[in-house]
Structure 1
Amino acid sequence: MASAKRNFTYEEDDEPIHLKKPKQQLPSPPVLLNSADCDLDFNIECNGVVGYGLNEEGFGYCWSGARATVGITKGRYCFGCIVVSSQRVDTDDTELDQHNLCRLGVSRGDDAVGALGETKNSFGFGGTGKFSNSGNFFNFGDRFGVGDIIVCCIDLESKPFGSIGFLKNGKWLGTAFQFDVDSLGLGVADSPLGLGLFPHVLLKNVVVQMQFSVEQGLVPLEGFRPWALAVTDGNAVIGPSLSDPKDCELIMMVGLPASGKTTWAEKWVRDHPEKRYVLLGTNLILEQMKVG
């Protein structure tokens, strides 16, 4: 009986199917507090999940803020914040309830990190039991402080309005605010500013530990996914990075008093938002010393 022969070609790259290894998926970037998107006096430790501001001498009067490395443009996601401890300060000339505070929420990637809850595109819940947006403060939920765990839940899916709500120690405090998602301009193509909503903390003499994943201790509210999953879900934008030191730039102004240095610098900062300049000066310090 004649045997049938089959001809085939074999290239060097070919491997028998049973020997082929599945393609490895690149790991998603972790969600951490961002050293490239925080105030200059903000410290980040413990692999990016613990944050606090300087508190020595005059720094005890100052708020200090930071955003996370990953923002979202759609979906329902949540993240948590543990108020770990208070920092000792010598600020006896301020009210006792203004010594050690945490404000937690989200802001758009191009907002000032020191103004959480004080601009149109930022939303914050503070330890005094107040929620704020656009500089308007109103009573919401309970006061919170050392030992408390606050979970922030962002809904960008509900129509016609998205919303932000919070849990305190596992108890749902309710929806704090609703907003028009479209007006936020999230997910703008090719934007160098990261126009998503980013986790944001603004601190005054407290230490916090962030929870962006279940592995970090986050207990999500039903219907909301851990923030860290937004990358693999395709709903994330990545914040700025200091991976290339050449991207950093310092401009030093030299001139006589009242010669227009500050005016020129303020215009330069406004005209180059993609550079994320920090304008150092007395005005910055006074802004960080606000009460609230």
Structure 2
Amino acid sequence: MKLTDIKKLKVPELRSRLKELGLDVKGLKAELVGRLWSASEAGQSGVDSEEEPKLQNDTSRTPAAPTETVDVRTQSPSPPTEAGVTTRSELDHTREVTDSATQTETDTGLPAPQRGSELIPERVPEYQAEQGHAEGPREDRRAQSSEGMARGRAFYEFKEEIRYKRAKSPQPAVNREEAEEEDEVRLNPYDSHLHFEVGPDCGCGQPRFWARCPSLWSGCRLTHGVLQGRVGFEVRLERKLLTTQPEEQEDMDPYGLRVGWSTADASLLLGEDEFSFAYDGRGKKVSGGMEEDFGEPFSEGDIIGCYASFSTDAAVELSFQKNGRFMGVAFSLNASVLPRCPLFPHVLCKSCSVRFQLDPTAPPWYPGPPGFTSLAALSAGQRVRSTSAPSSRAQCEVLLMVGLPGSGKSHWARTHMKEHPEKQYRLLGTEELLACMISGGQRDSRLQQASQCLTDLIKMAAQTPANYILDQCNVLFSARRHKLQLFTGFRRRVVVVFPSADEWKRRLFQHQKSDGEQIPETALLKLQVSCSLPEQQSDLLEELQYVELPQEQAQTLLQEYKDEARRLLPPVPKQDKKKPRLHKKRPHPHGPPPSRRMQWTALNGWTDARLNMQSWRQQQQPRYWSAAYQDQGYYYRDFGDSGYEGHW
């Protein structure tokens, strides 16, 4: 059954089909659709997997032995096989996954690899702005129709802030300290994108928002790297998470994977940095954003081996193999190109899940080139440990940027990160997420997706000890208060970037020219009217810093902006005070309105009886009817919103 057909079903039909499959029938429609689609996909994969082609590197096969069922959560990864693998996954009410794999044996007598992720196969977004769900107090529907498609980053950032206007105060997070095994090689959540989800065993992972933002690339490095010797590691493309191509992304690959090596201070976008070297799933090698043809494309179930050979003169050769077949040397780097620093295994994926072979006691999935040793099997003295994550929020800090669009917040944040590399800040902002969408979709669509994901990432960041910079406008007090309360326990710094009027106009023009988008004048004026600058509050922040104009001058200039904006803006449309006649009932002049029976009798000439009954009711209950009808005006009173916060 196609995804489009499932979406057309009504809620009762969805629940009926889920009940037939023995699945949970509770939740919103989006959750029911995801649950039914996941079950449908799993059911189809069980049929299709029997017809999967055999691996290309083998020329002869022996009959398959009887199948055996293996629990993915309890058994470690195993060597590869040539036979097809069947995987079923089920999304239950608690969104936990129980995967099992049907495996066959080959002539080597080794069991087949498990395919089935320990991660949640699909996550339903908490809110879906693109489907018209309300996201704030009488918010931007009128503005969207008036402003058209010329929105840009500032529109979505301000839209995100409006959500906090009536949001409940967040509960303080519980400080959980987790002990880390320093000598264990595993995926490093501290050295990954916040939108990369690491599995419970720290040996597998996948993008966190693959369902709502399929074009988002998510990267992660391992906890240990190497600086000498001949070392390798293996990665398996576990499964595709998208089986249908979104309409807005028909011109791009629905999923992607890059594996390779990078230095500790390189970007998490593998292959996009100077000291980042990747083998791309499209059959290319990538470094510094430059692509060249290399090897073969790889798909679901393929196993990629990555190998680094260090020589005595600090030169490095990086080679790869696919399913045991050597693809050749992809990068030859001498000491002048690559500084003498450790290289860390690195993976970057889009809409797919991956698994590393990190068991030091298990044999490799495929034998590597002669003389190479698995990274997980090296002794502690031969490996280099990356920086450990802070153990508590008290050791971390969060910087909340405040300023109008184009004022220079992002420039200041990136400069501060370069000046303090030891703090390893994580920059959370719309532009940072857009950079992770290497290809695909229109900018407005990507901005909308990035804004949705960013709200969830901020909540996750408050639960994950690290140093953060929230690179947004944050011009509403309610938004600043909510976010700062989320980070209770961190050292909270608020940085205000508010330049002079002439400098702001220059920067804003430069920003719009470089991004190729024009902020509508009306939208910018509304933003100035709603803007407020923070003041020192001991219960919300520990430090307040104005990096351009001093606080007094900034407040004075902002008031000038507000006065000018109110003068230039058109008047706020008043709410229609006229209500339907049904909602404007008035007390009957002679008591309660006549009943249907009395009306019928009146039509038949029984006027005296009707009048007598009305007179009797008026004498018995005069106060009841007058009070009841007078109170109706309260329930239908129109409160409305003042100002411009809810109209943009």
TM-score (ref. length: structure 2): 0.38
- State the secondary structure of the residue aligned to 2:361: helix
Q: Distance in 2 between matches of 1:247 and 1:107?
A: 27
Residue 223 (structure 2) pairs with residue 76 (structure 1)? no
Aligned 1:226-241 pairs, distance under 5 A: 226-232=374-380, 234-241=381-388
User: Match for 1:235: what amino acid?
Assistant: Q
Q: Distance in 2 between matches of 1:46 and 1:247?
A: 25
The CA deviation string for residues 48-106 of structure 1, in whole angstroms up to 9 with x for no partner, is: 10011124454211100000000111111000001110112663322476111110000
1:37 to 191, 194, 198: 191
Greater mean deviation of Cα atoms: 33-42 or 236-245: 236-245
1:223 to 364, 371, 375: 371
Q: Distance in 1 between matches of 2:210 and 2:290?
A: 30
2:331 to 154, 171, 177: 177
User: Match for 1:34: what amino acid?
Assistant: N
Contact preservation (8 Å) 1:128, 1:143 = yes
The CA deviation string for residues 235-282 of structure 1, in whole angstroms up to 9 with x for no partner, is: 321112225224332111123333322221111111111211121112
Q: Distance in 1 between matches of 2:320 and 2:377?
A: 19
User: Match for 2:277: what amino acid?
Assistant: F
Deviation at 1:142, TM superposition (A): 0.4
Aligned partner of 1:198 in structure 2 is: 344
Aligned length: 256
For residues 288 and 261 of structure 1, do their structure 2 counterparts lie closer, same or farther at Cα, with a shift above 3 Å needed?
A: same
Q: Distance in 1 between matches of 2:374 and 2:396?
A: 32
Q: Distance in 2 between matches of 1:146 and 1:217?
A: 22
Q: Distance in 2 between matches of 1:120 and 1:159?
A: 21
Q: Distance in 1 between matches of 2:323 and 2:223?
A: 25
Aligned partner of 2:240 in structure 1 is: 86
Aligned 1:138-157 pairs, distance under 5 A: 138-157=292-311
Q: Distance in 2 between matches of 1:50 and 1:217?
A: 18
Aligned partner of 2:259 in structure 1 is: 104
1:291 to 409, 419, 439: 439
Q: Distance in 2 between matches of 1:66 and 1:269?
A: 20
Deviation at 1:291, TM superposition (A): 2.7
Q: Which runs of 5+ in 2 are unaligned?
A: 1-180, 441-648
Q: Distance in 1 between matches of 2:369 and 2:360?
A: 12
More strand by share: 1
Q: Distance in 2 between matches of 1:97 and 1:216?
A: 38
Aligned partner of 1:277 in structure 2 is: 425
Residue 314 (structure 2) pairs with residue 167 (structure 1)? no
Aligned partner of 1:129 in structure 2 is: 283
User: Match for 2:218: what amino acid?
Assistant: S
Q: Distance in 1 between matches of 2:305 and 2:358?
A: 10
Q: Which runs of 5+ in 1 are unaligned?
A: 1-26, 187-194
Aligned 1:256-271 pairs, distance under 5 A: 256-271=404-419
User: Match for 1:126: what amino acid?
Assistant: D
For residues 83 and 57 of structure 1, do their structure 2 counterparts lie closer, same or farther at Cα, with a shift above 3 Å needed?
A: closer
Aligned partner of 1:13 in structure 2 is: none
Deviation at 1:225, TM superposition (A): 0.6
User: Match for 1:100: what amino acid?
Assistant: Y
Greater mean deviation of Cα atoms: 203-212 or 222-231: 222-231
User: Match for 1:146: what amino acid?
Assistant: E
Larger Rg: 2
Greater mean deviation of Cα atoms: 155-164 or 267-276: 155-164
Q: Distance in 2 between matches of 1:96 and 1:217?
A: 40
- State the secondary structure of the residue aligned to 1:145: coil
Q: Which runs of 4+ in 1 moved over 4 A?
A: none
Contact preservation (8 Å) 1:42, 1:53 = yes
Q: Distance in 2 between matches of 1:283 and 1:58?
A: 18
The CA deviation string for residues 153-205 of structure 1, in whole angstroms up to 9 with x for no partner, is: 1011265732111111111111111001464333xxxxxxxx41000000001
Aligned 1:35-74 pairs, distance under 5 A: 35-74=189-228
Q: Distance in 2 between matches of 1:90 and 1:162?
A: 39
TM-score (ref. length: structure 1): 0.81
Q: Distance in 1 between matches of 2:302 and 2:209?
A: 21
Contact preservation (8 Å) 2:257, 2:281 = yes
Contact preservation (8 Å) 1:117, 1:135 = yes
Contact preservation (8 Å) 1:163, 1:175 = yes
More helix by share: 2
